[in-house]
Amino acid sequence: MASVARKNLLEDIPRFLVAQAGVMFAVSLVTIQTGIIQGFGRSTTTIIDDSSADIWLSAEEMVNLQLTLPIPAATVADAEDVEGVRHAEALLTRTTMWRGPNGEIAPVQIIGFDPASTLFAAGNITAGDVGMLQEPHTILPDLSNLNSLGLSQVGDSANISSLPARVVGLTEGTQSLPASAYIFTSLRNANAYLTSGFNSSTNCRLEDGNLACNNNFQRTPDPTELPAPEPLSASDAITYVLVEAEPGQDLQALKQRIEEQLPNVRALTREEMSAQTRDFWVQRTGIGFILGLGATVGVVVGMVVVGQILYSSVSDHVKEFGTLKAMGASDWMIYRIIIEQAMWMAVLGYVPSVALCWAVGLWTVSAQGIAILITPVSAAGVLGITVLMCIGSAIIAIQRVTHVDPAIVFKA
Protein backbone atom coordinates (compact mmCIF):
# COMPACT_ATOMS: atom_id res chain seq x y z
CA MET A 1 0.00 0.00 0.00
CA ALA A 2 2.91 2.36 0.75
CA SER A 3 4.14 2.08 -2.84
CA VAL A 4 0.69 3.06 -4.13
CA ALA A 5 0.68 6.14 -1.90
CA ARG A 6 4.11 7.27 -3.09
CA LYS A 7 3.22 6.53 -6.72
CA ASN A 8 0.08 8.67 -6.51
CA LEU A 9 2.03 11.46 -4.78
CA LEU A 10 4.91 11.61 -7.26
CA GLU A 11 3.02 10.74 -10.42
CA ASP A 12 2.38 14.40 -11.26
CA ILE A 13 5.48 16.36 -10.17
CA PRO A 14 4.08 19.86 -10.86
CA ARG A 15 0.99 19.07 -8.78
CA PHE A 16 3.22 17.61 -6.04
CA LEU A 17 5.36 20.78 -5.96
CA VAL A 18 2.27 22.97 -5.71
CA ALA A 19 1.00 20.87 -2.81
CA GLN A 20 4.35 21.04 -1.02
CA ALA A 21 4.49 24.80 -1.54
CA GLY A 22 1.12 25.08 0.19
CA VAL A 23 2.25 22.91 3.09
CA MET A 24 5.52 24.83 3.41
CA PHE A 25 3.70 28.16 3.42
CA ALA A 26 1.34 26.99 6.16
CA VAL A 27 4.10 25.43 8.26
CA SER A 28 6.35 28.48 7.85
CA LEU A 29 3.57 30.85 8.84
CA VAL A 30 2.65 28.83 11.92
CA THR A 31 6.31 28.37 12.93
CA ILE A 32 7.22 32.02 12.50
CA GLN A 33 4.10 33.30 14.23
CA THR A 34 4.50 30.99 17.22
CA GLY A 35 8.23 31.74 17.25
CA ILE A 36 7.55 35.48 17.31
CA ILE A 37 5.08 35.04 20.18
CA GLN A 38 7.65 33.09 22.20
CA GLY A 39 10.52 35.37 21.21
CA PHE A 40 8.47 38.46 21.98
CA GLY A 41 7.51 37.14 25.41
CA ARG A 42 11.08 36.08 26.12
CA SER A 43 12.46 39.49 25.13
CA THR A 44 10.21 41.31 27.61
CA THR A 45 11.68 39.35 30.53
CA THR A 46 15.31 38.86 29.51
CA ILE A 47 16.85 41.05 32.21
CA ILE A 48 14.57 39.45 34.82
CA ASP A 49 15.41 35.89 33.77
CA ASP A 50 19.14 36.65 33.57
CA SER A 51 19.24 38.07 37.08
CA SER A 52 20.33 36.00 40.07
CA ALA A 53 17.82 37.60 42.43
CA ASP A 54 15.50 35.25 44.25
CA ILE A 55 12.91 37.98 44.90
CA TRP A 56 12.09 41.30 43.23
CA LEU A 57 10.63 44.09 45.39
CA SER A 58 8.58 46.87 43.82
CA ALA A 59 5.80 49.33 44.57
CA GLU A 60 2.42 47.70 45.17
CA GLU A 61 1.11 49.26 41.94
CA MET A 62 3.65 47.49 39.69
CA VAL A 63 2.09 46.27 36.43
CA ASN A 64 5.16 45.08 34.51
CA LEU A 65 8.89 45.70 34.38
CA GLN A 66 8.53 49.10 32.70
CA LEU A 67 5.29 50.23 34.33
CA THR A 68 5.56 50.84 38.07
CA LEU A 69 5.95 53.58 40.67
CA PRO A 70 9.22 54.49 42.43
CA ILE A 71 10.20 53.39 45.91
CA PRO A 72 12.80 55.03 48.22
CA ALA A 73 16.39 53.81 48.10
CA ALA A 74 16.14 53.22 51.86
CA THR A 75 14.13 50.10 50.97
CA VAL A 76 17.41 48.33 50.18
CA ALA A 77 18.64 48.64 53.79
CA ASP A 78 15.18 47.83 55.12
CA ALA A 79 15.06 44.66 53.03
CA GLU A 80 18.45 43.51 54.33
CA ASP A 81 17.10 43.79 57.89
CA VAL A 82 14.40 41.19 57.17
CA GLU A 83 15.18 37.76 58.52
CA GLY A 84 16.15 35.39 55.73
CA VAL A 85 17.55 38.06 53.40
CA ARG A 86 21.23 37.59 52.63
CA HIS A 87 21.82 40.54 50.31
CA ALA A 88 19.83 43.28 48.53
CA GLU A 89 20.65 45.64 45.66
CA ALA A 90 18.93 48.61 44.05
CA LEU A 91 17.79 48.80 40.43
CA LEU A 92 16.73 52.07 38.84
CA THR A 93 14.91 52.09 35.52
CA ARG A 94 12.84 54.76 33.81
CA THR A 95 12.35 56.29 30.38
CA THR A 96 14.02 59.56 29.43
CA MET A 97 15.15 61.43 26.31
CA TRP A 98 18.15 60.60 24.14
CA ARG A 99 19.81 63.04 21.75
CA GLY A 100 22.21 61.30 19.39
CA PRO A 101 25.36 62.68 17.76
CA ASN A 102 23.29 63.86 14.78
CA GLY A 103 20.83 65.76 17.00
CA GLU A 104 17.90 63.35 16.60
CA ILE A 105 15.93 62.61 19.76
CA ALA A 106 14.46 59.29 20.87
CA PRO A 107 13.07 57.75 24.07
CA VAL A 108 15.43 55.40 25.92
CA GLN A 109 15.00 53.14 28.93
CA ILE A 110 17.72 53.87 31.46
CA ILE A 111 18.66 50.84 33.57
CA GLY A 112 20.90 51.74 36.49
CA PHE A 113 22.58 49.04 38.57
CA ASP A 114 25.68 48.45 40.62
CA PRO A 115 28.49 47.52 38.16
CA ALA A 116 29.86 45.21 40.86
CA SER A 117 26.44 43.57 41.23
CA THR A 118 26.13 39.89 41.98
CA LEU A 119 22.37 39.85 41.36
CA PHE A 120 21.97 41.73 38.06
CA ALA A 121 23.53 41.01 34.66
CA ALA A 122 23.60 43.45 31.75
CA GLY A 123 23.45 40.74 29.10
CA ASN A 124 26.31 39.29 27.09
CA ILE A 125 29.09 41.90 27.02
CA THR A 126 30.60 41.95 23.51
CA ALA A 127 32.91 44.95 23.92
CA GLY A 128 34.29 46.97 26.80
CA ASP A 129 33.89 46.25 30.49
CA VAL A 130 31.00 46.67 32.92
CA GLY A 131 33.43 48.05 35.49
CA MET A 132 33.96 51.13 33.31
CA LEU A 133 30.41 52.21 34.18
CA GLN A 134 31.86 53.39 37.48
CA GLU A 135 33.21 56.38 35.56
CA PRO A 136 30.95 59.45 35.32
CA HIS A 137 28.56 59.75 32.37
CA THR A 138 29.29 56.36 30.82
CA ILE A 139 26.79 53.97 29.27
CA LEU A 140 26.44 50.47 27.87
CA PRO A 141 23.84 50.18 25.05
CA ASP A 142 22.54 47.02 23.43
CA LEU A 143 24.24 46.17 20.15
CA SER A 144 20.90 45.90 18.34
CA ASN A 145 20.13 49.57 19.10
CA LEU A 146 23.29 51.19 17.72
CA ASN A 147 21.75 52.28 14.42
CA SER A 148 18.57 53.66 15.96
CA LEU A 149 20.65 55.65 18.48
CA GLY A 150 23.00 57.03 15.84
CA LEU A 151 26.00 55.18 17.30
CA SER A 152 28.57 52.98 15.62
CA GLN A 153 31.18 51.87 18.13
CA VAL A 154 32.64 52.06 21.60
CA GLY A 155 33.89 55.56 22.31
CA ASP A 156 30.99 57.38 20.62
CA SER A 157 29.28 60.10 22.62
CA ALA A 158 25.73 61.45 22.77
CA ASN A 159 23.45 63.19 25.27
CA ILE A 160 20.90 61.86 27.74
CA SER A 161 18.64 64.59 29.08
CA SER A 162 21.06 67.48 29.68
CA LEU A 163 24.13 65.35 30.35
CA PRO A 164 26.77 63.74 28.12
CA ALA A 165 26.88 59.98 27.65
CA ARG A 166 29.99 58.11 26.47
CA VAL A 167 29.77 54.52 25.20
CA VAL A 168 32.29 52.36 27.09
CA GLY A 169 31.00 48.95 26.06
CA LEU A 170 28.34 47.00 24.22
CA THR A 171 26.01 44.20 25.23
CA GLU A 172 23.59 42.01 23.31
CA GLY A 173 20.50 39.90 23.83
CA THR A 174 18.85 42.21 26.35
CA GLN A 175 16.44 44.38 24.38
CA SER A 176 12.71 44.06 25.00
CA LEU A 177 10.80 44.40 21.72
CA PRO A 178 7.98 46.66 23.00
CA ALA A 179 10.25 48.84 25.18
CA SER A 180 12.42 51.81 24.28
CA ALA A 181 16.11 51.18 23.63
CA TYR A 182 17.86 49.88 26.75
CA ILE A 183 20.77 51.93 28.10
CA PHE A 184 22.70 50.33 30.97
CA THR A 185 24.69 52.47 33.37
CA SER A 186 25.62 52.75 37.03
CA LEU A 187 23.11 53.74 39.70
CA ARG A 188 24.69 57.14 40.28
CA ASN A 189 24.86 57.88 36.54
CA ALA A 190 21.26 56.72 36.08
CA ASN A 191 20.06 58.96 38.91
CA ALA A 192 21.91 61.92 37.39
CA TYR A 193 20.42 61.30 33.93
CA LEU A 194 16.87 60.91 35.25
CA THR A 195 16.96 64.00 37.47
CA SER A 196 18.92 66.41 35.28
CA GLY A 197 16.06 67.68 33.11
CA PHE A 198 16.56 68.86 29.54
CA ASN A 199 18.93 71.38 28.07
CA SER A 200 16.67 73.19 25.61
CA SER A 201 15.66 76.82 25.72
CA THR A 202 12.36 77.80 24.17
CA ASN A 203 11.60 81.42 23.26
CA CYS A 204 8.06 82.19 22.15
CA ARG A 205 6.57 85.50 21.00
CA LEU A 206 3.55 86.80 19.12
CA GLU A 207 4.13 87.72 15.48
CA ASP A 208 1.13 89.10 13.59
CA GLY A 209 -1.22 87.37 15.99
CA ASN A 210 0.54 83.96 15.67
CA LEU A 211 2.66 82.25 18.31
CA ALA A 212 6.21 81.70 17.04
CA CYS A 213 8.63 79.55 19.06
CA ASN A 214 12.34 79.07 18.57
CA ASN A 215 13.78 75.91 20.16
CA ASN A 216 17.55 76.00 20.55
CA PHE A 217 19.43 73.22 22.25
CA GLN A 218 22.13 74.62 24.46
CA ARG A 219 25.62 73.23 24.27
CA THR A 220 26.03 70.10 26.34
CA PRO A 221 28.82 70.63 28.87
CA ASP A 222 32.07 68.73 28.48
CA PRO A 223 32.20 65.81 30.95
CA THR A 224 35.34 67.29 32.50
CA GLU A 225 33.40 70.45 33.32
CA LEU A 226 30.76 68.56 35.28
CA PRO A 227 30.95 67.27 38.84
CA ALA A 228 30.82 63.50 39.23
CA PRO A 229 27.32 62.16 39.98
CA GLU A 230 26.69 61.65 43.68
CA PRO A 231 25.88 58.23 45.17
CA LEU A 232 22.21 57.60 45.89
CA SER A 233 20.89 58.80 49.20
CA ALA A 234 18.22 57.04 51.26
CA SER A 235 15.57 59.46 50.00
CA ASP A 236 16.39 59.06 46.28
CA ALA A 237 13.90 57.14 44.15
CA ILE A 238 14.68 53.69 42.79
CA THR A 239 12.47 51.22 40.95
CA TYR A 240 13.25 47.75 42.28
CA VAL A 241 15.15 46.01 45.03
CA LEU A 242 16.75 42.70 44.09
CA VAL A 243 16.93 40.26 46.99
CA GLU A 244 19.14 37.24 47.51
CA ALA A 245 17.72 34.86 50.10
CA GLU A 246 19.68 32.93 52.67
CA PRO A 247 20.36 29.33 51.60
CA GLY A 248 17.47 27.01 52.37
CA GLN A 249 14.90 29.78 52.76
CA ASP A 250 11.28 29.19 51.74
CA LEU A 251 10.76 31.98 49.21
CA GLN A 252 7.02 32.18 49.71
CA ALA A 253 7.44 32.58 53.47
CA LEU A 254 10.21 35.14 52.91
CA LYS A 255 7.98 37.12 50.55
CA GLN A 256 5.28 37.24 53.22
CA ARG A 257 7.74 38.47 55.87
CA ILE A 258 9.06 41.19 53.56
CA GLU A 259 5.57 42.46 52.72
CA GLU A 260 4.62 42.45 56.41
CA GLN A 261 7.70 44.44 57.47
CA LEU A 262 7.95 46.81 54.50
CA PRO A 263 4.73 48.78 53.92
CA ASN A 264 3.58 49.56 50.37
CA VAL A 265 6.05 47.05 48.91
CA ARG A 266 5.21 44.05 46.75
CA ALA A 267 7.44 40.97 46.68
CA LEU A 268 7.58 38.54 43.75
CA THR A 269 9.91 35.67 43.01
CA ARG A 270 11.97 35.97 39.84
CA GLU A 271 9.67 33.50 38.08
CA GLU A 272 6.53 35.36 39.19
CA MET A 273 7.98 38.71 38.11
CA SER A 274 8.88 37.26 34.73
CA ALA A 275 5.45 35.68 34.24
CA GLN A 276 3.61 38.89 35.17
CA THR A 277 5.61 40.97 32.70
CA ARG A 278 5.35 38.41 29.91
CA ASP A 279 1.61 37.84 30.40
CA PHE A 280 0.96 41.57 30.32
CA TRP A 281 2.55 42.03 26.90
CA VAL A 282 1.33 38.78 25.31
CA GLN A 283 -2.22 38.72 26.69
CA ARG A 284 -3.36 42.14 27.86
CA THR A 285 -2.04 44.01 24.82
CA GLY A 286 -3.67 41.64 22.28
CA ILE A 287 -0.36 40.85 20.60
CA GLY A 288 -0.78 37.15 21.29
CA PHE A 289 -4.24 37.18 19.70
CA ILE A 290 -3.01 38.89 16.51
CA LEU A 291 -0.07 36.53 16.07
CA GLY A 292 -2.25 33.53 16.89
CA LEU A 293 -4.74 34.68 14.27
CA GLY A 294 -1.95 34.73 11.69
CA ALA A 295 -0.99 31.16 12.60
CA THR A 296 -4.64 30.07 12.25
CA VAL A 297 -4.82 31.63 8.79
CA GLY A 298 -1.72 29.65 7.82
CA VAL A 299 -3.31 26.38 8.92
CA VAL A 300 -6.53 27.14 7.01
CA VAL A 301 -4.61 28.02 3.84
CA GLY A 302 -2.55 24.84 4.13
CA MET A 303 -5.65 22.68 4.62
CA VAL A 304 -7.32 24.20 1.57
CA VAL A 305 -4.29 23.66 -0.68
CA VAL A 306 -3.54 20.14 0.55
CA GLY A 307 -7.23 19.22 0.49
CA GLN A 308 -7.58 20.34 -3.10
CA ILE A 309 -4.49 18.44 -4.20
CA LEU A 310 -5.52 15.22 -2.44
CA TYR A 311 -9.11 15.44 -3.66
CA SER A 312 -7.90 15.97 -7.21
CA SER A 313 -5.47 13.06 -6.90
CA VAL A 314 -8.19 10.75 -5.59
CA SER A 315 -10.57 11.82 -8.36
CA ASP A 316 -7.93 11.03 -10.97
CA HIS A 317 -7.48 7.54 -9.53
CA VAL A 318 -11.10 6.59 -8.88
CA LYS A 319 -10.86 3.61 -11.24
CA GLU A 320 -7.72 2.33 -9.49
CA PHE A 321 -9.50 2.55 -6.13
CA GLY A 322 -12.50 0.79 -7.68
CA THR A 323 -10.18 -1.97 -8.88
CA LEU A 324 -8.82 -2.42 -5.38
CA LYS A 325 -12.32 -2.67 -3.97
CA ALA A 326 -13.27 -5.18 -6.69
CA MET A 327 -10.25 -7.24 -5.66
CA GLY A 328 -11.56 -7.33 -2.09
CA ALA A 329 -9.63 -4.44 -0.53
CA SER A 330 -11.38 -3.00 2.48
CA ASP A 331 -12.30 0.66 2.82
CA TRP A 332 -9.72 0.99 5.61
CA MET A 333 -6.92 -0.15 3.25
CA ILE A 334 -7.92 2.53 0.77
CA TYR A 335 -8.13 5.11 3.52
CA ARG A 336 -4.61 4.15 4.58
CA ILE A 337 -3.31 4.95 1.10
CA ILE A 338 -4.82 8.44 1.20
CA ILE A 339 -3.75 9.13 4.79
CA GLU A 340 -0.22 7.92 4.11
CA GLN A 341 -0.09 10.17 1.08
CA ALA A 342 -1.07 13.06 3.34
CA MET A 343 1.57 12.06 5.91
CA TRP A 344 4.28 12.12 3.26
CA MET A 345 3.14 15.61 2.28
CA ALA A 346 3.27 16.69 5.93
CA VAL A 347 6.81 15.41 6.53
CA LEU A 348 8.22 16.61 3.19
CA GLY A 349 6.72 20.06 3.77
CA TYR A 350 7.64 20.31 7.45
CA VAL A 351 11.38 19.61 7.33
CA PRO A 352 12.43 22.31 4.82
CA SER A 353 9.99 24.81 6.35
CA VAL A 354 11.41 24.52 9.88
CA ALA A 355 14.96 24.69 8.50
CA LEU A 356 14.04 27.87 6.60
CA CYS A 357 12.38 29.42 9.66
CA TRP A 358 15.41 28.58 11.78
CA ALA A 359 17.66 30.39 9.27
CA VAL A 360 15.30 33.37 9.19
CA GLY A 361 15.36 33.43 12.99
CA LEU A 362 19.17 33.61 13.03
CA TRP A 363 19.09 36.48 10.55
CA THR A 364 16.48 38.49 12.43
CA VAL A 365 18.40 38.20 15.70
CA SER A 366 21.68 39.33 14.18
CA ALA A 367 20.27 42.02 11.88
CA GLN A 368 17.25 43.36 13.76
CA GLY A 369 17.58 42.07 17.32
CA ILE A 370 14.21 40.32 16.94
CA ALA A 371 14.10 36.77 18.25
CA ILE A 372 12.02 34.12 16.49
CA LEU A 373 12.25 31.48 19.20
CA ILE A 374 11.98 27.90 17.92
CA THR A 375 12.30 25.44 20.78
CA PRO A 376 12.12 21.62 20.61
CA VAL A 377 8.68 21.82 22.25
CA SER A 378 7.36 24.40 19.78
CA ALA A 379 8.88 22.50 16.82
CA ALA A 380 7.15 19.32 18.00
CA GLY A 381 3.91 21.26 18.38
CA VAL A 382 4.15 22.61 14.84
CA LEU A 383 4.83 19.08 13.56
CA GLY A 384 1.68 17.89 15.30
CA ILE A 385 -0.31 20.76 13.79
CA THR A 386 1.12 19.93 10.34
CA VAL A 387 0.18 16.27 10.61
CA LEU A 388 -3.34 17.10 11.82
CA MET A 389 -3.71 19.64 9.02
CA CYS A 390 -2.77 17.12 6.34
CA ILE A 391 -4.86 14.31 7.87
CA GLY A 392 -7.80 16.72 8.06
CA SER A 393 -7.33 17.40 4.36
CA ALA A 394 -7.12 13.67 3.70
CA ILE A 395 -10.49 13.14 5.39
CA ILE A 396 -12.01 15.53 2.84
CA ALA A 397 -10.49 13.48 0.02
CA ILE A 398 -11.62 10.20 1.60
CA GLN A 399 -15.23 11.26 1.12
CA ARG A 400 -14.65 10.91 -2.62
CA VAL A 401 -13.96 7.16 -2.42
CA THR A 402 -16.34 6.28 0.38
CA HIS A 403 -19.11 5.33 -2.00
CA VAL A 404 -17.01 4.17 -4.96
CA ASP A 405 -18.78 1.34 -6.77
CA PRO A 406 -16.35 -1.45 -7.86
CA ALA A 407 -18.45 -1.76 -11.05
CA ILE A 408 -16.89 1.52 -12.22
CA VAL A 409 -13.95 -0.59 -13.38
CA PHE A 410 -16.08 -2.14 -16.12
CA LYS A 411 -17.62 1.09 -17.36
CA ALA A 412 -16.33 2.64 -20.55
The string of pLDDT tens digits covering residues 100-134 is 888 889 999 999 999 999 999 988 888 888 989 99
> What does the pLDDT look like over 47-97, one tens digit per residue?
999 999 999 999 999 999 999 999 999 999 999 999 999 999 999 999 999
292 part of a folded domain: yes
- Going by the DSSP 8-state scheme, the letter that residue 219 receives in this structure is P
Please check whether residues 40 and 67 belong to one and the same domain.
Answer: no
pLDDT at site 202: 41
Mean of the pLDDT values across residues 388-395? 80
The more confident residue out of 15 and 183 is 183
Please check whether residues 193 and 332 belong to one and the same domain.
Answer: no
Please check whether residues 110 and 198 belong to one and the same domain.
Answer: yes
Q: Round the average pLDDT of the chain to a whole number and report it.
A: 82
Please check whether residues 124 and 234 belong to one and the same domain.
Answer: yes
Confidence check: pLDDT of 407 > 60: no
Please check whether residues 152 and 90 belong to one and the same domain.
Answer: yes
pLDDT at site 245: 94
> What is the domain range of residue 258?
61-263
SS3 of residue 383 by DSSP: helix
Please check whether residues 68 and 37 belong to one and the same domain.
Answer: no
Please check whether residues 11 and 81 belong to one and the same domain.
Answer: no
Please check whether residues 161 and 243 belong to one and the same domain.
Answer: yes
Please check whether residues 236 and 328 belong to one and the same domain.
Answer: no
Please check whether residues 39 and 86 belong to one and the same domain.
Answer: no
Confidence check: pLDDT of 162 > 90: no
pLDDT at site 206: 45
pLDDT at site 403: 62
277 part of a folded domain: no
What lies within 8 Å, CB to CB, of 31 at 6+ separation is 353, 354, 357, 374, 378, 379, 382
Q: How far apart are CA 164 and CA 156, in angstroms?
A: 11
Please check whether residues 147 and 27 belong to one and the same domain.
Answer: no
Instruction: Give the whole-number percent of the chain exceeding pLDDT 70.
Output: 82
378 part of a folded domain: yes
106 part of a folded domain: yes
82 part of a folded domain: yes
Please check whether residues 107 and 39 belong to one and the same domain.
Answer: no
**Domain total for the chain?**
2
> What does the pLDDT look like over 331-380, one tens digit per residue?
677 778 778 878 888 888 888 888 888 888 888 776 666 777 788 888 88
Query: Hey, which residues does 110 pair with through a beta bridge?
Result: 94, 183
Helical spans, DSSP H, in 111-212:
146-149, 187-195
